[in-house]
Amino acid sequence: MNAVSTTRKRIGVLISGRGSNMAALLRNDCGGDVVVVGSNKAEAKGLELAQDAGIETFALSHKSFASREAFDAALIEQLETYRLDLLVLAGFMRILTPQFTDHFAGRLLNIHPSLLPSYPGLDTHERALNDGVKLHGCTVHFVTSVLDHGPIIAQAAVQVEDDDTPETLAAKVLVQEHQILPYAVRLFCEDRLQANGLRVSVRPIAPVIVKHA
C-alpha cells in the first residue's frame, strides 16, 4: 500500500529573472520547504522576493567562469551545502551540462513554456503563433541531459486566439505555469511520482484504514 510521505522535503529553486514561478511555490503548500533560492544574476528580482519571505539566497554569475563545466561545478558545490531533496528550475536561463543534470538526476524539475516535446528552447510563444497552432501551454518535467526532453510530469493547455501576440499568449500560459508547478512539486514531495522511461505515472494516495473497536 502506498502512503503519502510525512517528511517535508528540502527544496532549492534556481531563477534568472522576476521569479514569478518561485513565488507561486511560496504561495502554495507544496509538501516541502523552499530553503534556498539561487540565481546566475545578482540583479534578478526574484531574489528580493525570496529575501522578503525570509529565504536564504545566493547569486553566482556564470560570467565569472571560463566554461559551462566550471560554472556548473561551482553551482553544484554551492547547492550541496543545503542538503536538497529537490531542485526546481523556475525560469533559470542556463543550458546545464550533463555533469549537473546527472548529479541531480531524479530530483531536478523544470517548468517550460510549451507543450513539450513541441517547441523546446527559446521563443516558444512566437514559434507557436508562427506555426498556427490552436493549443499552446506549459510543461513540468524531470530534467535530463537532453534539453527540454525529460519525462513529463504535468501539462496545461490554453486556447490560441486569432488576435494573440507572443506577449498575450505568454501571459495566458504563465497563469497555467503558476498552477501546475506547485502541483507537480507537491506530487514529488509526496513521493507519488514514478518515472518509467519518458512516461511518468502518479501513485494514488493510499486510503486511511480506520479500525473500529
Q: Which residues are catalytic?
A: 112
Give dist(CA 57, CA 38) in Å, integer.
5
Residues recorded for the chain: 213
Beta carbons of 55 and 13 less than 8 angstroms apart: no
**AA identity, residue 167:** E
Cell numbers representing residue 85 in the block:
531533496
Give dist(CA 88, CA 30) in Å, integer.
12
Give dist(CA 198, CA 177) in Å, integer.
21
Residues 6+ apart with CB under 8 A from 123: 166
Write the DSSP string, 96-147: PPHHHHHHTTTSEEEEESS-TTSS-SS-HHHHHHHHT-SEEEEEEEE--SST
Give the β-pairing of 32-39 and 9-15.
parallel
Beta carbons of 189 and 202 less than 8 angstroms apart: no
